[in-house]
Amino acid sequence: MPVGESRWDFPPPEAWSHDDLVAAGADLEPATLVRAYTSGLFPMGIGRTNRQIGWWSPASRGVLPLDGLRVTRSMRQSARRYDVRIDSRFGDVIRSCASPSREGVWITRQFIAAYEELHRLGWAHSVEAYNSDGHLVGGLYGVRVGAFFAGESMFHLQRDASKVALMHLVATMRASGMRLLDVQWSTPHLASLGVVEIPRTEYLQLLGAAVGNS
């Protein structure tokens, strides 16, 4: 569903510094979020309070090549134990990702409301893993624009549940001809799954091709 035009203009890439933080302020309206993602930016709070919105573009961007996911034997076994669905319980997934019991959580009520609206409009999506009792035990959510998916956060309550959701996302993206899976920053955990870091300039080129800007 169309989101209209944002009233905010982000700095062009040639004006960005080498820092990961590019800009601050604006809002989390759907049009602002879509413009940000197609420009190579994503929102995250600044500082411990997360009261101010920051717009980030890591100088070294974490991406998962769609042919590079490392699937272990444990992940294959776990995949047989979980039922995976898409967009069945987006609100529950983002709230699980925002649980205060998790370290470094930045997903505030403001972010939850914004992404639930983006989901309602068809831009934000969740992938969910359910156990044999039908309980939601893991998943992830993010934003899709064209052939691009921006992974925002993931959670798990049982072993490998979030990894199985990621396996399903990658398979779905490959089947539908998508090109780019962004994970923002790499971590040792993500690197173990196949995530690599690429320079910001290379990321912006891949992004432009994936969302139709080039």
* CATH number of the domain bearing residue 89: 3.40.630.70
Closest-CA residue to 186 (of 176, 175, 198): 198
> Could you tell me if residue 180 is inside a domain?
yes
Q: What is the pLDDT of residue 1?
A: 78
Residues 73 and 102 in one domain: yes
In terms of domains, do 171 and 158 share one?
Answer: yes
Indicate whether 40 and 93 sit together in one domain. no
In a domain, 102, yes or no: yes
Q: What is the pLDDT of residue 104?
A: 55
Q: Which residues pair with 52 in a beta bridge?
A: 46
DSSP H or E run through 155: strand 148-156
Token pair in block for residue 146: 């064209």
Q: Are residues 48 and 68 in the same domain?
A: no
Which sign does the torsion angle of CA 61, 67, 72, 78 carry? positive
Tell me, what's the pLDDT at 214?
A: 46
Q: Structural domain of residue 48, as residue ranges?
A: 17-58
Q: What is the mean pLDDT of residues 28-51?
A: 91
pLDDT-based confidence at 70, cuts 50/70/90? very high
Are 93 and 115 in the same domain? Answer: yes
- The answer to whether residue 1 is domain-embedded is no
Contact call for residues 196 and 68 (beta carbons, < 8 A): yes
- One-letter amino acid of 8: W
114 with 90, same domain?
yes
Could you tell me the two tokens for 175? Answer: 């089947």
- Whether 194 and 69 have beta carbons less than 8 Å apart is answered as yes
Q: Say yes or no: 185 and 88 in one domain.
A: yes
Instruction: Please tell me the total count of domains within the chain.
Output: 2
Task: Choose among 84, 27, 76: nearest CA to 54.
Answer: 27
Which of 31, 58, 85 terminates a domain? The answer is: 58
On whether the CB atoms of residues 66 and 181 are closer than 8 A, the answer is yes
Residues 87 and 99 in one domain: yes
Looking at the predicted structure, is the pLDDT value of residue 161 above 70? yes
pLDDT at 99: 83
Domain CATH for 47: 3.30.70.3550
Q: Are residues 35 and 113 in the same domain?
A: no
SS3 171: helix
Residue 166 and residue 79 share a domain: yes
- The model's pLDDT over 88-109, given as tens digits with 9 standing for 90+, comes to 999 999 999 998 766 656 799 9
Residue 86 and residue 40 share a domain? no
